[in-house]
C-alpha cells in the first residue's frame, strides 16, 4: 500500500535509441505501457521541452530527432520511455547515484515530472 | 694500457673488472666514461665509482633534509652518516626506543658533533600528511573548495545555475491529480531495486518501474514488445 499523503513520484521521460538495452543492468520483468494520463501529460511535456530546446545551442552529437517518425509532428525530442520512481516519505530517499543508461545517446534531454509531496532533489557535477 | 689497441668490448670488460662487485653500471655509462677519459680504463673506472658515491649521497641528503625541514647547506656538515634514523634516536634519547635499529644508531649519532639545534621529529605522520588547505589555493582554483549545496528555489535560479529549466505547474491541475493517483495505484506493484553490495543483498529505499510509450503507428508491435523485454 502506498500512502498518498506522503508520496512523491518522479517520472523521468526520455528518448531511448536502442532496441537492446537495459536499465541499470536489470532485465525488466514485464512490459508496461504508458497509462492514458501519462500519455496526455507526455504530450504537454514534449511541447514545453521542444520550445526550450529551440532557444538553445545544440551540441554536435546531440540527437536531432527522427524525420521519419509518422507521429513526430516535427518535434525534435520525443519521449518513448519513462522511468517511474516512487518515494514514500522523507525516510525513503536514495543517495547520490547515476543511472547507467547507455542507450540515450550523448547530451540526452530528460524531462523529470514531479508529482505529490514536496521533495528535495539534489544534483552534483 | 693506453697504447694497446683494444676493441671496445675488451675495454668495457676491463673497466668492469676494475670496479668493485657491488657496482654494476649500465653499458651506456661505461661508454660515456670511456669517451670522457679518451679510452683510459683506469680513469673511467674511477669516474664511475665516484658517480655512484655522489648519487648515493645526494639522494640521502635530499630525503633527510625534507623530513627534518633543514637547509641543504647545513646537511653537508654532517655528511651521509646523519641518516633519519640516527637523528630520531639522538634527539629523543630519553624516550622509549622505537625499534631495535633505533637504539643501535643512537650511539653513532651521539658521537657526531651537533652543530645546530634540530627540531625533534616525534610523529612522522605529521610530516607526511597532506599540506593544509591555503586560501591562495582556493583563489587560484588549484583545489576544490567545499561549498554547501546551492538551494535553487525558483525557476530563474534553476536556469541560472544549471543546464535545466524548471516549469512549475506544467500540467493542468485535473490532469496532474489524475496522473498522480493513476501512478500511485500502479506503484503498489513496482519492485524495489535489489543489488549486491559488499557481499550483501541490499534493497533500494524506493520503488521504481519502467514504461514504454504506446507503439507508434507504422512500427511493428512485436518488435516494440521485444524492446521493452530487453530493458
Nearest by CB: A2 against B184, B223, B225: B184
B1 and B63, same domain (yes or no): yes
Return the residue in B151, B183, B206 with the most chain A beta carbons within 10 A, the one to mutate for interface testing.
Answer: B183
Q: Over chain B, what is the mean pLDDT? A: 69
Q: Of B50-64, B116-130, B211-225, which gets the smallest average pLDDT?
A: B211-225
Interchain contact A12–B (C-beta under 8 A): no
What are the residues whose beta carbons fall under 8 Å from the beta carbon of B61, sequence distance 6 or more? B72, B75, B76, B80
B59 and B79, same domain (yes or no): no
Residue B163 domain flag: no
Q: At residue B176, does pLDDT exceed 90?
A: yes
Average pLDDT over residues B117-131: 66
Q: How confident is residue A60, by pLDDT bands cut at 50, 70 and 90?
A: confident
Q: At residue A12, does pLDDT exceed 80?
A: yes
| Residue, of B147 and B163, whose pLDDT is higher | B163
Domain range for B11 is: 1-68
Chain A residues close to B230, C-beta within 8 Å: 19-22, 27-28
Q: How confident is residue B172, by pLDDT bands cut at 50, 70 and 90?
A: very high
Burial B55-67 (b: 16+ CB within 10 A, else e): eeeeebbeebbee
| Residue, of A101 and A83, whose pLDDT is higher | A83
B111 and B75, same domain (yes or no): yes
Interchain contact A90–B (C-beta under 8 A): no
| Residue, of B78 and B27, whose pLDDT is higher | B27
B63 and B21, same domain (yes or no): yes
Interchain contact A27–B (C-beta under 8 A): yes
- Phi, psi angles (nearest 5°) of residue A9: -115, 135
Q: Which of B115, B130, B145 is the last residue of a domain?
A: B130
Nearest by CB: B230 against A19, A29, A34: A19
Residue B79 has a pLDDT of 45
- Percent of chain A residues past pLDDT 90, beyond the cut: 13
B16 and B53, same domain (yes or no): yes
SS3 at position A32? coil
Residue A71 has a pLDDT of 62
B8 and B64, same domain (yes or no): yes
B41 and B80, same domain (yes or no): no
Query: What is the spatial distance between Cα B224 and Cα B212, in angstroms, rounded to a whole number?
Result: 9
Residue B209 domain flag: yes
Q: Of A21-25, A97-101, B131-135, B160-164, which gets the smallest average pLDDT?
A: A21-25
Residue B172 domain flag: no
Burial B32-54 (b: 16+ CB within 10 A, else e): bbbeebebbbebbbbbbbeebee
Residue B183 domain flag: no
Residue A67 has a pLDDT of 62
Residue B164 domain flag: no
Average pLDDT over residues A35-46: 92
DSSP result, B104-172: HHHHHHHHS---S-------HHHHHSPPPP-HHHHHHTSS----PPPP--SHHHHHHHSS----TT-S-
**Interface contacts (A, B; CB < 8 Å):** 148
Q: Of A6-15, B104-113, B167-176, B190-199, which gets the smallest average pLDDT?
A: B104-113
Chain A residues close to B180, C-beta within 8 Å: 4, 9, 115-116
Interchain contact A33–B (C-beta under 8 A): yes
The helix/strand count (H/E) of chain A reads as 1, 3
Query: What is the spatial distance between Cα A35 and Cα A53, in angstroms, rounded to a whole number?
Result: 26
Q: At residue B97, does pLDDT exceed 60?
A: no
CA–CA–CA angle A90, A92, A97 (5° rounding): 110
Residue B113 domain flag: yes
B75 and B61, same domain (yes or no): no
Q: How confident is residue B25, by pLDDT bands cut at 50, 70 and 90?
A: confident
Output the nine-digit C-alpha cell for A108: 540526452
Residue B36 domain flag: yes
Q: How confident is residue B45, by pLDDT bands cut at 50, 70 and 90?
A: confident
Chain B residues close to A39, C-beta within 8 Å: 213-214
The answer to whether A85 and B208 have CB atoms below 8 angstroms apart is: yes
B4 and B61, same domain (yes or no): yes
Residue A39 has a pLDDT of 92
B5 and B64, same domain (yes or no): yes
CA–CA–CA angle B172, B178, B180 (5° rounding): 100
B90 and B124, same domain (yes or no): yes
From A36's Cα to the closest Cα of chain B, the distance in A is 9
Q: At residue B101, does pLDDT exceed 50?
A: no
Number of domains comprising chain B: 3
Return the DSSP state at A33. B
ipTM (interface pTM): 0.80
Domain CATH code at residue B8: 1.10.8
Q: How confident is residue B174, by pLDDT bands cut at 50, 70 and 90?
A: very high
Residue B150 has a pLDDT of 83
Tell if the CB–CB gap between B231 and A7 is shorter than 8 Å. Answer: no
Nearest by CB: A37 against B170, B175, B208: B175
CA distances A68 to A59, B18, B221, Å, are 21, 84, 17
- Chain B residues with a Cβ under 8 Å from any Cβ in chain A: 149, 162, 165, 167, 170-171, 175-176, 178-184, 186-188, 190-191, 193, 204-214, 216-218, 223, 225-231
What are the residues whose beta carbons fall under 8 Å from the beta carbon of B190, sequence distance 6 or more? A84, A86, B207, B208, B209
Q: Which of B110, B130, B150 is the last residue of a domain?
A: B130
B79 and B25, same domain (yes or no): no
Q: Which of B33, B50, B68 is the last residue of a domain?
A: B68
Residue B2 has a pLDDT of 47
Residue B124 domain flag: yes
Amino acid at each position: 500500500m502506498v500512502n498518498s499523503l506522503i508520496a512523491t513520484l518522479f517520472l523521468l521521460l526520455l528518448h531511448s535509441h536502442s532496441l537492446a538495452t537495459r536499465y541499470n543492468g536489470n532485465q525488466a520483468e514485464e512490459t508496461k505501457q504508458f497509462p492514458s494520463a501519462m500519455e496526455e501529460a507526455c504530450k504537454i511535456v514534449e511541447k514545453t521541452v521542444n520550445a526550450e530546446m529551440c532557444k538553445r545551442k545544440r551540441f554536435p552529437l546531440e540527437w536531432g530527432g527522427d524525420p521519419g517518425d509518422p507521429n513526430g509532428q516535427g518535434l525534435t525530442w520525443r519521449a518513448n520511455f519513462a522511468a517511474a520512481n516512487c518515494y514514500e516519505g522523507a525516510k525513503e530517499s536514495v543517495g547520490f547515484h547515476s543511472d547507467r543508461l547507455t542507450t540515450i545517446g550523448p547530451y540526452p534531454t530528460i524531462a523529470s515530472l514531479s508529482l505529490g509531496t514536496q521533495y528535495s532533489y539534489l544534483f552534483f557535477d | 694500457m693506453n697504447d694497446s689497441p683494444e676493441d671496445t668490448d675488451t675495454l668495457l670488460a676491463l673497466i668492469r673488472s676494475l670496479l668493485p662487485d657491488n657496482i654494476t653500471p649500465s653499458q651506456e655509462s661505461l661508454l660515456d666514461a670511456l669517451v670522457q677519459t679518451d679510452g683510459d680504463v683506469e680513469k673511467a673506472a674511477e669516474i664511475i665509482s665516484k658517480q655512484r658515491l655522489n648519487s648515493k649521497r645526494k639522494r640521502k641528503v635530499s630525503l633527510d633534509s625534507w623530513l627534518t625541514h633543514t637547509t641543504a647547506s647545513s646537511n653537508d656538515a654532517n655528511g651521509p652518516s646523519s641518516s633519519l634514523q640516527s637523528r630520531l634516536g639522538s634527539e629523543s634519547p630519553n624516550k622509549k626506543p622505537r625499534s631495535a635499529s633505533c637504539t643501535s644508531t643512537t650511539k653513532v649519532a651521539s658521537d657526531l658533533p651537533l652543530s645546530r639545534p634540530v627540531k625533534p621529529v616525534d610523529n612522522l605522520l605529521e610530516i607526511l600528511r597532506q599540506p593544509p588547505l591555503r586560501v591562495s589555493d582556493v583563489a587560484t582554483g588549484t583545489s576544490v573548495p567545499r561549498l554547501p549545496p546551492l538551494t535553487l528555489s525558483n525557476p530563474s535560479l534553476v536556469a541560472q545555475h544549471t543546464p535545466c529549466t524548471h516549469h512549475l505547474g506544467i500540467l493542468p491541475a485535473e490532469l496532474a491529480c489524475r496522473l498522480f493517483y493513476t501512478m500511485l495505484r500502479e506503484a503498489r506493484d513496482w519492485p524495489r531495486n535489489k543489488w549486491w553490495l559488499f557481499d550483501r543483498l541490499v534493497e533500494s529505499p524506493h520503488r521504481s518501474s519502467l514504461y514504454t510509450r504506446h507503439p507508434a503507428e507504422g512500427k511493428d508491435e512485436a518488435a516494440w514488445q521485444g524492446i521493452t523485454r530487453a530493458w
